[in-house]
Each structure stands twice: as C-alpha cells, then as structure tokens.
Structure 1
C-alpha cells in the first residue's frame, strides 16, 4: 500500500506515534489567528495565548464598540512587550451580513413545526413569532421551499443554539417560515444566512468604513479581513485604504463564504493578498459532502500562486471542552497537509472556556503534521505550476529556504 504523496516517502513508524509529544525548540510554521474577546482580553490570558503560539490577533467588529476593542488592543500591546512575542493585528469587517436585533435581550425560543415571520420592520420587537431583519430585499430574494439559518454558530442539525427555517409564504415584504428544529436564540444579535442568494448590500458598510478610518488608522492594522463576493470588492477596499495614507501597506485578506465568492475565486485570488476560507458559512452554503472539495481546490490554487490561505472553524467543540474531537484533530492536520498557512480560531478563543489550551493543542497538531508533510514535493509542484525559469532573486530566496530547512532538520536531530 503506497503512502499519500502529501506525506514523506518513508513509512511512519508506529513506535514514534506511541512516543509522547516533545516540546519543540521551533514553533509550528502554520500560523494561529486568535480572536480576542470576553474570555481572552486580559493581559494575563493574552500573554499565555502568545506563549502558546498565537501570532495574529483578530478583532471582530460584528460585535463590540471601538472603545472595547481598543482596551483589548492596549492589553495585547502590554502582553507583547512582556512576552517579547510578535503578534500582528487583523481587523475583521462586518460586511453585508444579515442580522436580527433582539432589543429585549431575553432569549427567544422557537418551537419546531410553528411559524415565524421575518420582517424588515426593525421598529417591531423580536419574539418567537416575529423577527425583525436589517434587510428589505429578503422577500424578493427567496421563494417557497428555500432554507434560512439563524444563529451564532455553525449549524449541525442537532444543536439548540441555531435554527433552520423553511420559507412557506412570501407576502409583501414579510417572509413566513416554518421552524424545522426547536432552538433558543440568546443574546442581542443573531446572524441570518440564506443559501445561494445575492444580498444587495455594500461590501464595505458605512460602519466598516468608519471603523477602518478611525480605529484601523489609529492602530495601523496589519490585515483587513474582507467579506468578498467579486474582485471589485477587493479593488474598492484597496482604493479606500490608499486614501487613508497610513494603511497603504495593510494586507487585504478575502473572506470566501458564499457561492458568489466561489464562482469568482480565481480573479479574487489574483487581486487579494491572502484568502480566508470561512467554513462556517460555506458549510451552510454548500452540501456537506462538497465542502472538502472546495477547501482542497482553493488551498491548492493559493499555494501555487504563493498567497497565504487561512482555514477557519476547525475545533468548535473546544469552545466548551478541553480537548478537540478526533475528527477535529484530524481536520486540523489535514488542513496543514493540504497546504494551509494558518488556522483561524473564532468562538474557541473569543468566548470559549479554554482559549490558551485551544491555541496550544492546535499548534501541537500543526507541528506534528508539518513533520510528515512532503515539502519537497510541494516545492516541485509549485515550480512546475509556474512553468518558467526562476528569476535571479527567486533563485536566491529558494536556495536560502532550502539551506534553512536543512539546517533546522539537522538541528532537530540533536534536540
């Protein structure tokens, strides 16, 4: 039986698998992006996150005000200084996200086989019978039988924090839906996802522009995470950043999370500085059996053109548990073997009970996968894909990388 071409050619010894993992002198090459929030914003916790392997801090502006995020960022700076660890800053924009505001702040329970109305009238109060939406075009975009998902987290079909609706009637601007599973929606804001429809809202909302031009400029952000459907989204964002002066060097990472982004992936990849595969929404947008195909194809394309690719939603269960599931651990490793450059943690570090442990475990899995990743094969595939002789500078860079990889492997033998 032949081993996967992704793995090193020599067989993996069972004895080495049974040996306990040893702390390595060098951290995993795969970067870890941690989202900072209520459970991970103190100087102490951030310091531990940095020591555990976090190298990018993500600030999600779909919740919280700039003052709150500024306090967190100041704590990050203190932690960076004390730990002497480098950490970049990523600003994540809201974009054209459909949302339901629950002004009462009381949990809303939706019972299976009952009806609920989605209305654009935001003056009405959210209840188990009626949910006000921040979008007036829903009734024109959906038809009877379409599916709508509401909740904060990845929908699995068995959880009680997200709800699956089926459109039963469209009347005027209101959409009446049949509730397919009993769920309780808690908090003040619920995210709405409608599969495979165009949301006629701007990619950079006014709120996004204000945050970027104030908080973003003030803190000289390194990365902008942008919900992207078309290549024009990247161009408009880059033009906006260039006008701000201080953010000309900010890298724009395209978040691909729906069918539109997938259809225009190649041209988006050419324009973006990097790609984020937002698997939470992709898992709803696509049939489950298709998600891995897009992930592998997208990562391969990013690798071949030399642009970073980030994979999200890998260890969701660690939001409430100290260990990932077997499937999640394997998922992280396979993302690395596919060629992912970074793993992005969301709820696991934002509001999860074990942010430090999550970063540590994900880092260990990445390091183990990197040990058996066939770097030489990937290099040859990349050179073949480019299909032309290297420039002088590329040749020097390639030789330098080969030298350091060989040196690190040799050094690792004596640790």
Structure 2
C-alpha cells in the first residue's frame, strides 16, 4: 500500500494541521461534561433540538412502510437511495413506501429529505446464483475475477464491473474487496480475467466494492449512467442531496451541477487519493463533503483515517460547508442488538468533530435491527450534543 505522504501532497499541509487538532478543539470549543457521578446516573436528555442529522440507507430490511415509520420515530432525517444497489423502479418503490409511512405518521409528512448516491467510477463484484448469498473464501485458495458481468459467481470466481482491470493490475498487487475485508493478491491476468490468491478467510457478498490501492481507475465520475440517474430519477423526485461518488476534482462537481435541479445540494464523497489531492478545489465547488471511510480506508493507511476525517470536517466548518461522516458507524448492529463500545465512541466523536450528518449504511439497509440501530445512533448523538455548548 502506498505511503500517504507522497501520494496526497495537495492535502498534506492541511493534514499536518490536524496534529494539534485535539488541543485546538478543547481550546476553541466549550464542553459541558457532566460530573463523574452524573455519568453513572440516567442518560442526559438534551433541552435543545438535535443538530446532527441521521442519514439512513434504505434496503431490503428497511424499505417496508412499517419499518420506515419506525425509522422516522427512531430519528431518521434523510433517506439514502444508493444507485449502486437497485434500478429506478426499486428506488421509486422506496419513496412510495415512504409516502405510506407518512400515512402512519402524518405529523412527519414531508419531513424526511432525500439523498441520491451515485454509482460513480466504482468497481463492484457481481451476483451469485442465489440472490444475496454470501460465499466463504479460504486463505490460500485461488479466486478468479471475470470481466463478463453476466457470469454468476461461486466460491471460485466472481464477475466485476470494470473490463480494463486485467490491463491495470500487475502480478503481486493487492485487490481489496468489501471495504477491505477480502484481500486478494494478483497471480496472473488474461484478456478477460484476473487470477488471484485469497490472503484471508472471509465471507464475500454480492455487489461489493473493489479497490486497487495506487491504481487510478480510468472511468469518468459523471458518466452517462450518472446523468441518467440525475435527470430521470433525482430531478423528478426533487432529491434534496446528491452524493457524488469518487470525486477527483472540482470539475467533477461542476459537471454534475449542470444536470441537477437548482435547489439540490451536491455532497462530494472523498473516497480515494485523487479526492484528497484535490480537496481544496473540491471543497470550493461542492455544497458539502462526505468522509467516505470505507473506500478511503483502502486507499490510505488505515491508521490515518482519523486524521483525514478530522481534517475534512474542520475544513468544512471553516468554509461553511456541510460535513457527512459515513461507513461502519454502528456496523456490528447488522447482526447484534447493541454496538461495540468503540462504535459508540466513534459516533460521539464524529459529533464532537462537527459533523452535520452521520450516515448508516448496511446496518439499516440489510441489518437485522434497522430501527434499533437508528435509535441507538440518535441516543448517542443526543448525549454528545449535550456535552457541546451550542
């Protein structure tokens, strides 16, 4: 994996400022921490309205009207429709079910904002024979990536969306899948495939993100699909926000804005080295920044993710732009009723950093406890905001 310092030279000076950020925060921002004995007592109830909003990614376990109504009760403020998962018909169904949820919660009618997340120049894996199935991979086994997306995968192979991958990778390079939980090493290539060796035991799901650290993917950020999704879905449904994936320059924002409704705010997702390198110009053109820690964490050393997060949020605050913190906020709640202690601290610290939005992804889209997850995030946010002197 490449060193962060030489790769992200454009953002290096801003990142260096974060070395003293913890001290700066405590000097510049007043906290209302409780006494030790008060921490033991009942949870604090904030006397002010919640400032940090919750974005919920809607998927199979959360798109029913009854669940959406429960999410409204739990504190959801924004519904995220991810164009990487589902066509226009499926995304429209989510909004139709939101309208049904309003019938169950008439006092909330019209209160939930809509965010459309673009596919962008991403690489994703394909499907397996059984929908939404997960395949178990073993360390040391061979595994083939195929550029024919019509092929259904199994334990030995899976299709990918990027036809030029065999040209762009070399033997010995690592390929990271599913937010880095699946690590492959390239052993060879052919005209329409990449042969790899699995480096760790893992379970691989469908439609998962694929990253090759240090390799610039030769795909446009605003392509025909993004334009179609904006013009034929986001605009007719009056989307409040568009999260533009894998932004690499300020021009990407300009190109996107040409196709958007005038009221729609563009949130630039910083997910790779190019996004960090050109952060200043991206921030200048965008309405906000999303700290997309999943893909970004596969492009830069994982021990520096916290630094990138704090730098970007700090710069957003200075520029008066929106800041969104995303990825693995409460990921353990996909299959558990409660988060880890570290996740609870992560959510609170993202609030203290100054995030305007926190985003839930798979926890709500595919998790077993979507409503409880949203409620837990709301409770942590309220406790964190209670410590801030707004």
TM-score, normalised via structure 1 length: 0.81
Which position in structure 1 is the counterpart of 2:30? 8
Tell me, in whole angstroms, the C-alpha distance in 1 between the residues paired with 2:48 and 2:228.
40
SS in 1 for 2:259: helix
The whole-number CA distance in structure 2 between the counterparts of 1:83 and 1:323 is 30
Distance 1:289 1:374, change over 3 A: farther
1:233-284 residue CA offsets vs partner (Å, 9 max, x unmatched) = 111000122xxxxx12111110111111111111100000111111111222
Cα distance change on mapping 1:45 and 1:146 into 2, 3 Å:
same
Please, which of 176, 194, 200 is the counterpart of residue 212 of structure 2? 194
Q: Tell me what 1:294 maps to.
A: 308
C-alpha contact 2:129 2:154 (8 A) present in aligned 1: no
How far does residue 232 in structure 1 lie from its aligned partner after superposition? 1.2
Query: Residue 129 of structure 1: CA displacement?
Result: 3.5
Q: For 1:334 and 1:25, how far apart are their aligned partners in 2?
A: 20
1:214 equivalent among 218, 228, 232: 232
- 1:16-415 paired onto structure 2 within 5 Å: 16-24=38-46, 26-80=48-102, 82-85=105-108, 86-102=111-127, 104-105=129-130, 107-122=134-149, 124-151=151-178, 154-155=179-180, 162-172=181-191, 174-187=193-206, 189-227=207-245, 228-241=247-260, 247-313=261-327, 314-375=329-390
Per-residue deviation, 1:123: 5.3
Larger displacement relative to structure 2 (91-100 or 107-116): 107-116
Q: Distance in 2 between matches of 1:215 and 1:121?
A: 28
Of residues 2-11 and 288-297 in structure 1, the stretch that sits farther from structure 2 once superposed is: 2-11
1:371-405 Cα distance to aligned partner (Å, 9 max, x none):
22255xxxxxxxxxxxxxxxxxxxxxxxxxxxxxx
Distance in 2, Cα, partners of 1:325 & 1:107 = 24
- Cα offset for 1:222? 0.8
Which stretch shows the higher mean deviation, 280-289 or 87-96? Answer: 280-289
Gaps of 5+ in 2: 1-22
Distance in 2 of aligned mates of 1:248 and 1:99: 31
Cα deviation digits, residues 183-208 of structure 1 (max 9, x gap): 33244x33322123211112133333
1:393 matched to which residue of 2? Answer: none
Paired residues, number: 360
| CA deviation after TM superposition for structure 1 residue 107, in Å | 4.7
Q: Is the 8 A contact 2:149 2:161 kept in 1?
A: yes
Stretches of structure 1 lacking an aligned partner (at least 5 in a row): 156-161, 242-246, 376-415
Give the CA RMSD over aligned residues: 2.2
User: How far has the Cα of 1:66 moved from its partner?
Assistant: 1.7
Q: Which range moves more in the overlay, 351-360 or 130-139? A: 130-139
- In 2, Cα distance between equivalents of 1:337 and 1:83: 33
Asked if the contact 1:51/1:83 (under 8 Å) is kept, the reply is no
Q: Deviations over 1:304-350 (max 9, x none)?
A: 01111000121111111111110000011111111111101111111
Query: How many Å apart are 1:7 and its aligned residue?
Result: 5.9
Which of 1 and 2 has higher RCO (CA within 8 Å, sep 6+)?
Answer: 2
CA distance in 2, matches of 1:37, 1:11: 37
Please report how far the alpha carbon of residue 103 of structure 1 lies from its aligned counterpart in structure 2 after TM superposition.
Answer: 5.3
Does the residue aligned with 1:5 lie in a helix, a strand or coil? helix
Contact 1:32 1:54 in 2 (8 A): yes
